[in-house]
Amino acid sequence: MGHTRMTPVQASTIPLFMQNKDVVVEAVTGSGKTLAFVIPILEKLIRRESKLRKNDMGALVISPTRELATQIHSVFSLFLSSQPSAQHVSDSGEEEDNDNSHESKWEYPPPLLLVSSDSSPAEDVQRFLATGADIVIGTPGRMEEFLLGKGRHVVNVKELEVLVLDEADRLLDLGFQQALTRIVTHLPKQRRTGLFSATMTDADAISELVRVGLRNPARIVVKVQTKRVNGKGVALDGKNVGGVIEERRIPAKSVTYIRRA
């Protein structure tokens, strides 16, 4: 798919997510934050020992705008479309013929569901019930309606494994804190949560969101480096240079880990 190596934010975040750690990630735009949660979500759902039932959901991704939600949906779709669908995958990574193999746990998630203003809340629920969806993506308002409104009694969140709040700073800037709190408290506590943001400008609001939704998370900060080129300072993001990665536990009294890529 054109990716030859992980960016610093991916190299630091993905292993923690796969080790069942909550994460708070601050990284500049273009550093590869989206794949830092797309890959762990797919990996976790693919490796489930038991398949989710039709009304279950395994992962929830919330973004501040419909455009961003659509972009995230496209990234998931790209990964899923590149994987085998009619064939199973064995533990060795080789495809098995459907005629000769028993049902395998290595199955790829069923269709994604994007809840957005392109459809009504009732239509979102109808599509979910008709096709099922391991991964649901949407904005806070539509997600709240999907989980706590029209879909409250039919959308099962008990099997949810991962919650991602993308562009958390913008989610808060747009006034979604109360909606996010209601959504988070509706979800099972035994889950992994990732909070991703380009900045952490509203520290108090972010801290409250962390307190409500995350459990002893690791914080990952990817900072922009500057390089002298012809006597001038040129900013380069973590994707191109590697940046500075800082990993630490919240609260601050916990051990701090510093890593330079």
Taking only the tens place, the pLDDT of each residue in 226-239 is: 555 555 544 444 44
> Which tokens in the block code for residue 138?
């949407």
Question: pLDDT value at position 254?
Answer: 31
CATH topology of domain 28-215: Rossmann fold (3.40.50)
User: Across residues 122-132, what is the average pLDDT?
Assistant: 91
- Does the pLDDT at position 105 exceed 70? no
Identity of the residue numbered 10: Q
CB 146 within 8 A of CB 121: yes
Could you tell me which residues come within 8 angstroms of residue 207 by beta carbon, excluding any fewer than 6 positions away? none
Q: Please, which pLDDT band fits residue 170 given cuts at 50, 70 and 90?
A: very high
Instruction: Tell me the whole-structure pTM to 2 decimals.
Output: 0.79
Query: Higher-confidence residue: 5 or 97?
Result: 5
CB 28 within 8 A of CB 237: yes
| Lowest-pLDDT range of 38-47, 74-83, 177-186 | 74-83
